[in-house]
Structure 1
Amino acid sequence: MKLMTPSAMHALDEAAIKEYGIPGILLMEHAAYHLFKHLQGRDKAESVVIVCGPGNNGGDGLALARQLFSWGQSKVKVLLLAPREKLSEDGRTYFDVCQKLQVDMMEVDKQNRDTAFKSLEAAKVIVDALFGTGLTRPVEGLYAEMIDHMNQSTAYKLSVDIPSGLDGNTGKVQGIGVMADYTITFVLPKKGLYQYPAPLYTGVVEVVDIGMPKALVEAAQADTFSIEEEEMKVLLPRRAMRSNKGSFGKVLVIGGSQGMSGAPALTSMAAYKVGSGTVTAAVPYAILEIMEQKLTEVIHCGLPDEDGFFSKEAEKIIGAMLDRYDVIAIGPGLGRNRSVLPVLIDVLISDKPCVIDADALYFIPELTDLLRIRKAPTIITPHPGEMARLTGLTIAEILEQPLEIAKKVAQDLQVITVLKLERTVIADPNGDTYINRYGNSGLAKGGSGDVLTGIITGLLAQSLKAGLPAMAAAKLGCFLHAKAGDEAAKDLTEYSFLPSDTIHYLSQLLKALI
């Protein structure tokens, strides 16, 4: 789904009004209706306090107040933190209507703020219509005090379009932000809603249609998108009745070292679990026996090693093997001994699509020229530390601008970049970026990245056979991995589920997509 910047969303509103002649007040009424509908199931005796600020956001709150009052919500109160003249034209109309209906409205200032704060304490529902998506400066003064008291309240909190205090572009908190239980956003999600730390503030996010012309929405330009479950079905490679194991791709996993057999094992099993035709694990002889004990279905290829790492002799064998496979995954458990470097170079100079992860990424900063000239699809899956090494930036700088940095790396190196975060970013060399809004802290465990690599690799093998782009495998792989983590957390908690558990949950997710 497209993610809109505040300025792009404003342009969309203006186009609906000017090009289609749709009155802005009608869009506001529709927006308020969705807020009203969300609250409709609650007890009418519950007290609802609507906190209204300037502009259209305050107007949405006043439009909601009118609907609640007309519906019979006797305990609706409006706290106005902006005088009438600071409202939008449509907002002023609703202000006048509410005034004539004798809705309980209070203009809050420094003299009466304690009374307003007591209203918040007594409320069962608080509607946050203070600031919209266009906020660009820190929240201060009375506004900040109001948000602080809203957050202290135990009332159910509903935010209009975006929790007040959040930057609609970046998701960053401008001083202080409303901690909402639920956010209803209009037409399309805003870019900042799914970027950290915004998910800590939004609660559940619902996107609603307010009557915007479909042609406008479809034509809206965006270069950032969210991963949505309902859009994943078309990315799943279909399986033909007449087929064989070669029809679904032959995967080669290159990795492992002494003490690190778990990483290639997880990658191999994940690749198999998402439907690969065959999976071969090429590992040092030092861990071959334990790999064979761990995995029954996977084909094993033991290779010469030195001190538990691939040796120079292993590189010669792997170089001769590559032509037998459709897709290569390299890196899980590989180790950082320089003896493995020739193996990575062989993969990079081959014409095989590949997924580069973990220890293989350690050597990529000195091999960027090889990446840039690759013709076959290439996917890299760095975490912030690996991305910092790759870019020369600090981890703090990576976390400050993850979308922009992932996009820059993807375009510079001509690779699909999967930047693993609490909300993973997937960037395409053509400039599009995707935010995966699924996942939880339970995925922050050793081995989780190895599973993701296996999922993406297995899907990539099938996608290319089915004529789908490599980006389809990256997006679907990130979704399946994160969603499997969410399902595992429901049953096992975020504390207890293991990376291997996420592999188990893949089958039910794939079943839902078939």
Structure 2
Amino acid sequence: MRVVTIKEMKEIETKTFNEYGLSEDFIIENVGIAGAHFLIELIKQEPTNFNLETLEFIFLIGRGNNGSDGLSMARHLTSFGLRPRAFLVFPDGPFSPEARRQIDLAKKFGVKVTPLLEGEQLSSYFEISASNHIVIDAIFGTGTRFPLGERMRELFDVVNEHSQFTISVDICSGVHADTGDISGGAIRSNITLAIGLPKPGHYLSEGGRFSGDTRILTVGFPEQELEKNGDLFTLDKRSVQKYCAVKRNAFAHKNTFGHTMLIGGSFGLTGALSLGSMAALGSGAGLVTAATWASAYPELLTRLSPTIMSALIPETESEVKSTVENDLSKFTVAVCGSGMGRSELTRVTVLNLLSAFKGPVVLDADAINVLNFKEDMGHIRERSFPTILTPHIGEFARFIGIDTKGLLMRPLEYLREVVDALGAIVVLKDACTLIGDPKGQFLIHYRPNDGLAKGGSGDILAGLIGGLLSQEFATSKGEFREHLQAKALRATALGVYLHAEAGYLAAKKYGARSMSAENIIECFPEAFELLEKEGR
């Protein structure tokens, strides 16, 4: 699904009104109908959490279109025999013409509309009313303007402290829709009802932590306008199907599914290489080889599955160059960096791999740590084959030379710049993982799971992507570069999705606290099976 900025959403609204002849009040009416039905269905699905007989809907109403949406929802709830209450957060206005109309309509339909003079008034109301309530935040939506005043921050604190269950209309008040930034406070929601399409702020920065579960309200915008253009999309169980291009063939042989080479490991860190190799094998790659330094080789052999071949990384510059140029042609894909160490020889190995290996290269962990964005971008940009980088936030910040805090404030902006400069795919790993493709497409995968915050999780992702790349590229000789890039994006997106899905299944089975990285690989079969079922 497309993800839109404030500007892009306004362009969709303008076209809807000017070119399709629909009116603003038509959209607001649809928001009210869809929102009210959503609330009723929510209550039906969770009868133990909400007692409809005593349940109270408390709407916090702003003075613009977000407030109009909330009042429309409140009015339509009266059709179900409910009597919601609406608090006007800015009782002195000035209200938009549509908000004034919605206030009058709400009163006529029996919604109790009350001016909210100060936060203490709402706090007192919470304290004396029944605890069985749902708060609907319709204060700002995408209209949040920073900085917020002290009165608003106090109001947000009251809601966050007292609300049993909170739903925000479009986006949480206090969260910037484009960046996910907050300034001093925001309403923390259980569910956010995005109008028409999701916004970056639902996932980025602090926005993801405040938005809860983001749902989409279909409210009458022309479908062709919602899907038109755009370069930012969600990666979810519906959209992932277009990245599942490789079909298994029961009559195939091992070479049909490619040969993945994983280069990494060092003394005490060969587990990272072993996990990545098992992930590549578990992805369906036909052959997998793991290579490490001579000093770590005996340790690697004790950890490596007998189904995975082993090799040595050369330990002189001349041998590295010769090996990459002459001995790696049998491999389909090279994955480099997991547990490798940050020595000068690691850097030499990575640079030779980039310059001489004729196939996709996945750079992870130490393979990224030994590079510098400004100094080494040419080595990546000049490659004839796709390059995929899989840094976490700290690695990416070091690579481009900024502090982590600055990166977290504008991750998508920095990602766009780096992807464009490198001509490479970058997977920026976090609770909200971002994928950037040099052809101009960016994906958001949002599925927070603290069970993945374990050593080895990132090594498994790199190996999984490498194994999927092997299957994509096993029969790709002679294809144009743009076709190769499309294959690389498919394998990368599918790998990110499957890794998260397997992580979710492992957390469900073992608990997020107790699961280990090996459990992620253990859940690959079920993750693949679920993916195939969704695609039927």
C-alpha separation in 1, matches of 2:22 and 2:163 = 39
The match for 1:496 is 514
Does residue 463 of structure 1 match 2:459?
no
**SS of equivalent residue, structure 2 residue 370:** helix
Residue of 80, 94, 105 corresponding to 1:97:
105
The match for 2:293 is 284
C-alpha separation in 1, matches of 2:107 and 2:397 = 56
Does residue 356 of structure 1 match 2:372?
no
Q: Which amino acid aligns with 2:223?
A: K
Report the CA distance between 1:151 and its aligned residue.
0.9
The match for 1:272 is 281
How many residues are paired up?
506
Report the CA distance between 1:214 and its aligned residue.
1.2
Residue of 432, 450, 471 corresponding to 2:441:
432
Report the CA distance between 1:138 and its aligned residue.
2.5
CA distance 1:293–1:162, shift in 2 (3 Å): same
C-alpha separation in 2, matches of 1:405 and 1:378 = 18
Q: Which amino acid aligns with 1:98?
A: A
CA distance 1:370–1:69, shift in 2 (3 Å): same
Does residue 369 of structure 1 match 2:378?
yes
Deviates more, 1:88-97 or 1:17-26: 88-97
Report the CA distance between 1:401 and its aligned residue.
1.4
Q: C-alpha offsets along residues 231-290 of structure 1, whole Å, 9 cap, x if unaligned?
A: 112212211333221111111111122222111111111011111111111222333344
Structure 2 contact 275–460 (Cα < 8 Å) conserved: yes
Identity of matched residues, %: 32
C-alpha separation in 2, matches of 1:99 and 1:368 = 62
Does residue 40 of structure 1 match 2:40?
yes
Report the CA distance between 1:190 and its aligned residue.
0.9
Report the CA distance between 1:312 and its aligned residue.
5.5
Does residue 77 of structure 1 match 2:85?
yes
C-alpha separation in 1, matches of 2:349 and 2:313 = 12
Structure 1 contact 252–328 (Cα < 8 Å) conserved: yes
Does residue 346 of structure 1 match 2:364?
no
C-alpha separation in 1, matches of 2:346 and 2:59 = 62
C-alpha separation in 1, matches of 2:516 and 2:102 = 53
C-alpha separation in 2, matches of 1:88 and 1:476 = 45
Q: C-alpha offsets along residues 474-509 of structure 1, whole Å, 9 cap, x if unaligned?
A: 111112112222222222222221111111112111
Report the CA distance between 1:207 and its aligned residue.
1.0
Normalising by structure 1, report the TM-score: 0.93
Structure 1 contact 138–165 (Cα < 8 Å) conserved: no
Report the CA distance between 1:422 and its aligned residue.
2.1
Deviates more, 1:468-477 or 1:321-330: 468-477
**SS of equivalent residue, structure 1 residue 195:** coil
C-alpha separation in 1, matches of 2:398 and 2:436 = 18
**SS of equivalent residue, structure 2 residue 31:** helix
Deviates more, 1:453-462 or 1:345-354: 345-354
Structure 1 contact 327–354 (Cα < 8 Å) conserved: yes
Q: Which amino acid aligns with 1:201?
A: F
CA distance 1:234–1:465, shift in 2 (3 Å): farther
**SS of equivalent residue, structure 1 residue 376:** coil
Residue of 320, 323, 337 corresponding to 2:326:
320
Report the CA distance between 1:64 and its aligned residue.
1.3
Does residue 447 of structure 1 match 2:453?
no
Residue of 145, 166, 173 corresponding to 1:157:
166
C-alpha separation in 2, matches of 1:173 and 1:304 = 50
Alignment of 1:19-418 (within 5 A): 19-41=19-41, 42=43, 43-74=52-83, 76-83=84-91, 86-110=94-118, 114-121=120-127, 122=129, 124-219=133-228, 221-236=229-244, 237-294=246-303, 295-303=305-313, 313=319, 316-350=322-356, 351-365=358-372, 366-418=375-427
Report the CA distance between 1:439 and its aligned residue.
3.4
CA distance 1:152–1:47, shift in 2 (3 Å): same
**SS of equivalent residue, structure 1 residue 176:** coil
CA distance 1:287–1:84, shift in 2 (3 Å): same
Q: C-alpha offsets along residues 116-173 of structure 1, whole Å, 9 cap, x if unaligned?
A: 3323342611111111112131222433322221111142111111111100001111
CA distance 1:286–1:85, shift in 2 (3 Å): closer
Q: Which amino acid aligns with 2:431?
A: E
Q: C-alpha offsets along residues 274-328 of structure 1, whole Å, 9 cap, x if unaligned?
A: 11111111222333344333312111123555xxxx7754553454221011111
Deviates more, 1:416-425 or 1:265-274: 416-425
Q: C-alpha offsets along residues 392-416 of structure 1, whole Å, 9 cap, x if unaligned?
A: 2222222221111111111111111
CA distance 1:88–1:180, shift in 2 (3 Å): same
C-alpha separation in 2, matches of 1:84 and 1:185 = 28
**SS of equivalent residue, structure 2 residue 272:** helix
C-alpha separation in 2, matches of 1:311 and 1:147 = 60
The match for 1:10 is 10
C-alpha separation in 2, matches of 1:56 and 1:120 = 26
C-alpha separation in 1, matches of 2:198 and 2:493 = 18
Normalising by structure 2, report the TM-score: 0.89
Report the CA distance between 1:465 and its aligned residue.
4.1
**SS of equivalent residue, structure 2 residue 66:** helix
Q: Which amino acid aligns with 1:370?
A: H
Coordinate RMSD, CA, aligned: 2.1
**SS of equivalent residue, structure 1 residue 463:** helix
- Unaligned ranges ≥5, structure 1: none
Q: C-alpha offsets along residues 429-468 of structure 1, whole Å, 9 cap, x if unaligned?
A: 2333222102322222221111110011111112234765
CA distance 1:105–1:156, shift in 2 (3 Å): same
- Unaligned ranges ≥5, structure 2: 44-51, 476-482
Q: C-alpha offsets along residues 102-126 of structure 1, whole Å, 9 cap, x if unaligned?
A: 421111224xx54433233426111
**SS of equivalent residue, structure 2 residue 230:** coil
Q: Which amino acid aligns with 1:343?
A: T
C-alpha separation in 1, matches of 2:260 and 2:120 = 66
Report the CA distance between 1:363 and its aligned residue.
2.4
**SS of equivalent residue, structure 1 residue 324:** coil
